């Protein structure tokens, strides 16, 4: 089950076994805090980064704790399969968390087993509620180390209800591809300003240029220290997330509004093309990141913090981009917690929001203008179904068929209707990309 896709690892320093085993007990505790926060609900992992158990750690330990939590989230179904074979009855959550954290280290991150087992036992010893289980923790982990984890299935990492939906929508083979993509830690993608040579940026960050011009790098760590960051020549943006603006095709001098603009990667793309862009979002807090990136890149936009449906402004625009709020199930490579946080009722609830936003966006498009609608969701109710219903309500709009090669999308993403349905399992040989539905609608009247 070990993840072999991350490339060669630097040699680990040689330490006495006892000393090595003592390293990182607090980091493992923090990993458990992050894991459980992510399982409790959407946004939980990000909120938990400010918890004392996490925030008080030194930077490297904090990064390690997050890496362990993310590994556990990506392989949670497999980890629980392995544990359940060895547990006669389910232990308290605090004990299962210790075991999950330990197996994420040994089976995914390839931490030496003696260190992971030793720290797991130490964690069990710390609290009265877990202390009676320390021998169980030791026995289970030693048994897995000795006998191996056994066979597991990638599909077990997906919640059953989502797996059933994706099997029905995309077929069994694609479901397996999605499950395999959900296991992997993605690379970092960069969108480059149009006047900057992408190949030069790729060389500087030891990456490659993908179709469409996105630069992909296997570098890890704080991007603020990477070449070109301070110069504002690029910003972090998944390859799939860059496609909607390419399909919108902004031109210098055009007026464009970016509905639901935060965190702002698409606004930066539009501004870099020379268009006059209004960045609209209901969350002033989320717009702060957009504003910071505008300052760093030297790009300009009119930033407005208000709900799109309530925006009291009479202007019409040459183009409108609506990246609508959604379940975000297509982002599971970068945000594995969304698979656990999303509930069946969320799909219908958000579909209603998307319906209202589409109609509000359409009202802003000038005759002869264009509207691009996108969601980072794999659910058809949030994508194809929305556009079918919208076109019935709005006869002045027509689909403008996408050409994948022109916008940097996988060829197999093109639907019969001319829309784009990008799946995380596509471009597997390049490392995958986020899932998106994207449609361009031109106003003909």
Instruction: Point out the residues that are catalytic.
Output: 376
| Tokens at 410, concatenated | 């996988």
- Give the separation between CA 38 and CA 27, rounded to whole angstroms: 16
Q: Tokens 């760590």 map to which residue?
A: 221
How far is 437 from 212, CA to CA, in rounded Å? Answer: 17
Measure the CA–CA gap between 57 and 97, rounded to whole angstroms: 19
Cis previous bond, 275, omega within 30? no
Distance set, CA 113 to CA 15, 49, 121 (Å) = 14, 26, 12
Q: Are 338 and 327 in contact (CB under 8 A)?
A: yes
Question: If we measure between CA atoms, which residue out of 108, 72, 140, 21 comes closest to residue 337?
Answer: 72
184 by Cβ neighbours in 10 Å (0-12 / 13-18 / 19+) ranks as: middle
Helix axes 93-103, 25-40, angle to 10 degrees: 110
C-alpha span between 79 and 154 (Å, rounded): 11
d(CA 254, CA 302) in angstroms, rounded, equals 14
DSSP letter assigned to residue 414: B
Q: How far is residue 400 from each of residues 227, 251, 294, 417, measured CA to CA in Å?
A: 38, 17, 30, 9
């Amino acid at each position: 089950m070990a993840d072999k896709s991350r490339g060669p690892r630097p040699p680990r320093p040689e330490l006495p076994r006892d000393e090595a085993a003592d390293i990182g007990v607090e980091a493992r505790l923090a990993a458990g805090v992050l894991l459980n926060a992510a399982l409790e609900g959407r946004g939980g992992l990000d909120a938990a980064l400010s918890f004392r158990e996490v925030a008080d750690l030194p930077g490297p330990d904090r990064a390690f704790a997050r890496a362990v939590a993310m590994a556990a989230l990506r392989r949670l179904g497999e980890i629980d399969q392995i544990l359940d074979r060895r547990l006669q009855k389910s232990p308290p959550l605090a004990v299962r968390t210790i075991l999950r954290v330990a197996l994420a280290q040994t089976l995914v991150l390839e931490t030496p087993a003696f260190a992971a087992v030793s720290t797991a036992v130490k964690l069990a010893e710390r609290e009265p509620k877990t202390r009676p289980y320390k021998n169980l923790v030791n026995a289970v982990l030693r048994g897995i180390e000795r006998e191996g984890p056994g066979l597991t299935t990638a599909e077990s990492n997906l919640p059953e209800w989502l797996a059933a939906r994706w099997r029905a929508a995309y077929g069994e083979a694609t479901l397996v591809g999605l499950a395999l993509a959900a296991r992997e830690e993605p690379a970092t993608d960069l969108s480059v300003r149009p006047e900057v040579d992408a190949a030069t940026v790729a060389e500087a960050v030891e990456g490659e240029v993908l179709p469409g011009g996105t630069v992909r790098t296997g570098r890890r760590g704080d991007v603020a220290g990477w070449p070109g960051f301070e110069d504002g020549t690029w910003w972090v943006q998944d390859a799939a997330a860059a496609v909607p603006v390419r399909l919108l095709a902004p031109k210098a001098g055009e007026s464009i509004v970016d509905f639901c603009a935060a965190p702002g990667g698409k606004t930066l793309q539009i501004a870099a093309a020379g268009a006059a862009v209004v960045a609209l979002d209901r969350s002033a807090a989320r717009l702060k990141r957009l504003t910071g990136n505008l300052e760093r890149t030297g790009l300009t936009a009119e930033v407005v913090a208000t709900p799109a449906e309530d925006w009291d402004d009479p202007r019409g625009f040459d183009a409108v981009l609506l990246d609508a709020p959604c379940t975000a199930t297509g982002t599971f490579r970068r945000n594995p917690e969304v698979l656990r946080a999303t509930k069946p009722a969320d799909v219908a609830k958000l579909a209603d929001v998307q319906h209202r936003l589409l109609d509000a966006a359409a009202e802003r498009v000038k005759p002869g203008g264009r509207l691009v609608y996108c969601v980072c969701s794999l659910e058809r109710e949030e994508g194809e179904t929305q556009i079918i219903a919208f076109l019935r309500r709005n006869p002045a709009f027509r689909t403008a068929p996408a050409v994948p090669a022109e916008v940097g999308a996988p060829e197999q993403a093109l639907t019969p209707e001319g829309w784009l349905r990008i799946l995380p399992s596509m471009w597997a040989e390049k490392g995958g990309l986020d899932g998106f539905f994207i449609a361009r609608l031109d106003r003909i009247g």
